[in-house]
Amino acid sequence: MPAEWVDFKSIKGKVSMETVLSHYDIRLRRVGADEFRGKCPLPTHSSTSSNDSFSVSSTRNAWSCQSASCIAARSGRVGGNVFDFVAEMERCSIREAALHLQHSLTENQIPRVTSRNEESVAHAPENRPLSFTLRNIDHQHPYVASRGLSEYTARYFGVGYYDGNGFLRGRVVIPIHNEHGELVAYSGRAIGQTKPRYRLPAGFRKSHLLFNLHRAIRKGNRTLILVEGFFDTFKIHQAGHHNVAALMGSKLSDRQADLIGTYFDQVILMLDADEAGKAATAAARTALSSILVVQIVELASGTQPDQLASEEINQLLGGFAHDLPTPGR
Ligand SMILES: [Zn+2]
């Protein structure tokens, strides 16, 4: 666990893109009521022909660069928030960028991150977007129905039996996206007793993302329901709660905690009620409670969300405030 907690929520509310731009002495010109435009200042920018590709929205407190080579150098990311911007400028992790901004708030200025971060683990390769999608996936396969998924849910998530070639052949495939909605991998679930139960591509880092996070973000809800697995996610979604994402395991990584803190103000932990899940709930509560509001759903011992019917899920989640009131800012 990191030595210092990052108060993402407070930083998000206090640091504007304008403040960050002026720290780096970046000048843009106003092109609209809330939009600024100019030359891209990021180290990922190599194109000399795109002189006007960088823009900032002050109301959304967000930035983007439309240069194709710059986007490619950021693993396909078009833009982001203040954390992403500082992370790109300093070539550090989101957590380091947030810490950097947090320190600047107490010191009233934003000091530069020293170059010591250049060799840090933050530079572990990202999950790159895939250049292909699998075709001929059977959403009506009996296995999908046997897990309690409607055909609609299976189609919505792109889940189904894959009979093509490669390491996913003969498995139920589950498309995995990063928080920007880019497809980065397929997981393959065995349909019989075949081992391993799940197959993932070599080098895929599941600790770098949360399954279904991009859809939960898109819903605009400020509360996230956090579960362990793919099928937990499907069942919670099917019960009508679309603000759900999965750890793809029971261990919450620092990166996953960062992602949750960046996009949400409250998290409802709904992990499995077995020994591993209970330990994971305790660890996640400790890790997340200084970043955002944490609530815990108590399942009957030995059960997990993917075994529950929609009515049971609704009953369990009904007692929780699903969203926080809009803050007055
Ligand atoms: Zn750029």
Ligand 1 center from residue 81 Cα (angstroms):
15
- Do residues 262 and 305 touch, judged by C-beta distance below 8 A? no
Q: Could you count the other beta carbons within 10 Å of the beta carbon of residue 110?
A: 18
Q: Given a cut of 70, is residue 264 above it in pLDDT?
A: yes
Q: What pLDDT score was predicted for residue 76?
A: 86
User: Cα(16) to centroid of ligand 1, in Å?
Assistant: 20
Residues 147-197 have pLDDT tens digits of 999 999 999 999 999 998 878 999 999 999 999 999 999 999 999 888 889
Lowest mean pLDDT among 7-11, 264-268, 271-275: 7-11
State the alpha helices, DSSP H only, in the chain.
8-14, 17-23, 68-73, 82-90, 94-107, 142-146, 151-157, 213-218, 230-238, 254-263, 275-288, 310-318
Sequence-ordered list of residues with C-beta below 8 angstroms from that of 242, at least 6 positions apart, any chain: 215, 216, 219, 221
Separation of 101 CA from ligand 1 center, angstroms? 22
- The answer, yes or no, to whether the previous bond of 305 is cis (omega within 30 of 0) is no
Distance 221 CA to ligand 1 centre (A): 30
Distance 72 CA to ligand 1 centre (A): 10
Torsion angle of the four alpha carbons 42, 45, 48, 54, in this order, in degrees rounded to the nearest 10: -60
Q: 167 or 233, which is more confident?
A: 233
Q: How confident is the model at residue 322 (pLDDT cuts 50, 70, 90)?
A: low
Q: At what angle do helices 254-263 and 275-288 cross, to 10 degrees?
A: 60
Residue written as tokens 């203040």? Answer: 82
The alpha carbon of 47 and the centre of ligand 1 are apart by a number of angstroms equal to 8
The predicted model scores a pTM of: 0.64
> Pairing relation of β-strands 183-189 and 171-177?
antiparallel
What confidence tens digit (pLDDT) does each residue in 91-132 have? 888 888 888 888 776 554 444 343 333 333 344 567 888 888
> Is residue 328 predicted with pLDDT exceeding 50?
no
The string of pLDDT tens digits covering residues 15-36 is 888 888 887 788 899 998 889 9
State how far the Cα of 195 lies from the Cα of 189, in Å rounded to an integer. 9
